[in-house]
Structures are given as C-alpha cells and as structure tokens.
C-alpha cells in the first residue's frame, strides 16, 4: 500500500494529504481509487471524497501548489483596533457622519464600518 510510511502516523495535516492526492493523481489513479486508498490507510482522518474530487480538478487544470491561495477582499485585520478607534473618533466628533464620508476619508471598507456600528449598538 502507498501509505506504508505513514501507518504509524495517521495524523497528517491537510497539506500532506493534498500532496498524497497530487502524487496519486500523477500516477494516474482515479478519484475513487485515491479516496479508497486514503480511507483504508487513514481511516477517520482521510479526507472526504468531495475534497479529493476538488483537488483532482485543481490538479487537472494545472495547479501545482497544495498551499491555500490568498483571496482578495477585506483583509483579516480590516477591523483592527486602529481602524475601530478611527471610526469611534470620527463618530465622537460628529454623530451624524455618514458611512460614505468615513470610507472616503479613511479607506476602511464600508462593510467593516457597518459591522463596527452594529457591534457598538448591540454589544
């Protein structure tokens, strides 16, 4: 079996599992065969079949990396303490300030501002 080297350590992280899927894909195995092999070796720690199918599709379309891709949009730190303080300061100066004005003067995304306002009211 392909997983002889990991039989003693079945707690593989998601990147290691993706590497195995990629390797077996390059060997020409089908998605079902890959999933069955991983299920037999990893048991409950094996990825579900839909995950195997997703990664097979990625590799078929030329993807080589098993790392997570960076997605565009609001950065994770959009609601940072600094940004929250900026919004709070602007509201203290003028309670009638508009979200549009805050967005234009601070470059903070409107969704972040709306969420901050929501938490100020309901928290």
Q: Tell me the HSE value of 8 on the side-chain side, using a 13 A CA sphere.
A: 1
Q: Tens digit of pLDDT for each residue in 22-48?
A: 999 999 999 999 999 999 999 888 999
Decide: 20 and 38 in contact? Cβ < 8 Å.
yes
pLDDT tens profile 62-119: 988 888 876 666 555 455 778 778 888 888 999 899 989 988 888 788 888 888 888 7
Dist. CA 32–CA 52, nearest whole Å: 8
pLDDT in tens, 10-23: 678 899 999 999 99
Torsion of CA 62, 64, 66, 71, to 10 degrees: -60
Model pTM above 0.75:
no
- Predicted confidence at residue 117, as pLDDT, reads 81
CATH fold label, 4-60: Arc Repressor Mutant, subunit A (1.10.10)
> Whole-angstrom Cα distance, residue 86 to residue 116?
11
């Amino acid at each position: 079996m392909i997983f002889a080297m990991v039989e003693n350590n079945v707690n593989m992280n998601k990147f290691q599992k993706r590497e195995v899927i990629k390797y077996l894909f390059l060997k020409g195995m089908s998605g079902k065969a890959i999933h069955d092999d991983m299920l037999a070796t990893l048991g409950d720690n094996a990825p579900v079949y839909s995950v195997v199918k997703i990664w097979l599709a990625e590799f078929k379309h030329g993807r080589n990396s098993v790392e997570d891709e960076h997605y565009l949009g609001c950065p994770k730190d959009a609601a940072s303490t600094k940004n929250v303080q900026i919004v709070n300061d602007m509201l203290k100066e003028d309670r009638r300030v508009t979200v549009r004005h805050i967005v234009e003067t601070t470059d903070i995304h409107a969704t972040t501002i709306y969420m901050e306002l929501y938490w100020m009211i309901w928290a």
